[in-house]
Structure 1
């Protein structure tokens, strides 16, 4: 993103078809795309940590590097949390079996959308322990997915239970994450400077980004509850 806020145009899935035309016949009118403007606004997230020069000098490891690594993890938590908040607002679906999951994938979600599952740890555990009628686990190895696993041909990414709910709850987003969420990235920075007054250094990490729902039909928010 090059500005603090703005509007990004998205287009709905095309449902019309072309028609046959005779040679040299005038071109028929093309159906107008269904555009939807998505408003976004950038927020600033930042924090700073003072580190004494004595701690830096006396540490057996690269202390500043370790702090920077921790700050990077906090950045990931921040962006994941912002996106997850919007994912929880998508149309809710309750499931109690893999058959329910198949129905959402096969029938409810438009086939024009790509598929990915963003699962909480508890939801992933459900997928990891369920078997088909022949006693084979449905979760399959995949080198192309963040978790190294896929189910029903869909890649899986795993987040903490707290990201999509609370500990012990099994939630997931199933759908086209790139069509569902607009992520406007304005800036990502890591700054380190010396402060003579404290005889130490400050490490500041920050981001400026905004997230918006781009297509509310691009996925579903699932809650798994085992059958009684």
Structure 2
């Protein structure tokens, strides 16, 4: 019922110094913008670490040359109790967006509750940049199918955002510091699929 998951929390930090002249003379809220960018840095770190785990050797791999193969992974390979979804990159999404069933209906169906606004086989589809989730070396599209919340855990111990004045340099500093770790918790919760067009 329970499994021990060892983790090793690391401290990661990003910081920047802004001169008071820049802060006072800028026509925009530069301090607020930097704070937003620091939070984006945290989000990017989370995404990068999680994607590294999902696309590495931790999870089973499968190949698919069409929707029937995707259906088999979705219906048979993965546990039906999982809260399944699809994660695809831009190129894979574009390919899926052009597929139709035998009656000419597009397989991606509009759904405002899904992250991308679409569902596939009744499951939400999340769209990731090609820069974050690149195509496979053989040109096939990476498709992650499964329950991400059951596959990977983020052990977050602390996140601190700080702002301070540097009186000796007439400037101020901003930083964000996080202490966390990312670990696989269930290797059966996700399948890493290589999707390619069927041979003609």
Answer yes or no: same fold by TM over 0.5: yes
Contact 2:135–2:142 (CA under 8 A) maintained in structure 1: no
1:194 and 2:145 correspond: no
1:108 match: 77
2:30 match: 63
2:151 match: 180
- Who wins on radius of gyration, i.e. which is larger? 1
Number of aligned residue pairs: give it.
Answer: 195
- Structure 1 runs, 4 residues or longer, greater than 4 Å off: 166-169
Counterpart among 100, 117, 133 of residue 86 in structure 2: 117
Could you tell me how far apart the structure 1 residues matched to 2:189 and 2:111 are? Answer: 24
Contact 2:14–2:38 (CA under 8 A) maintained in structure 1: no
1:221 and 2:188 correspond: no
Could you tell me how far apart the structure 1 residues matched to 2:135 and 2:14 are? Answer: 25
- Could you list the runs of 5+ residues in structure 2 that have no partner in the other structure? none
DSSP-derived class of the 2:132 partner: helix
Deviations 1:12-39 (CA, angstroms, capped at 9, x unpaired): xxxxxxxxxxxxxxxxxxxxxxx32111
Could you tell me how far apart the structure 2 residues matched to 1:113 and 1:187 are? Answer: 29
Contact 1:122–1:171 (CA under 8 A) maintained in structure 2: no
Please give the residue correspondences for 1:131-142 in structure 2 after superposition, counting only pairs within 5 Å.
Answer: 131-142=100-111
1:17 match: none
Contact 2:110–2:118 (CA under 8 A) maintained in structure 1: yes
1:152 and 2:121 correspond: yes
* Cα root mean square deviation, aligned: 1.7
TM-score by length of 1: 0.80
1:30 match: none
Could you tell me how far apart the structure 2 residues matched to 1:185 and 1:143 are? Answer: 30
Counterpart among 40, 60, 63 of residue 73 in structure 1: 40
TM-score by length of 2: 0.90
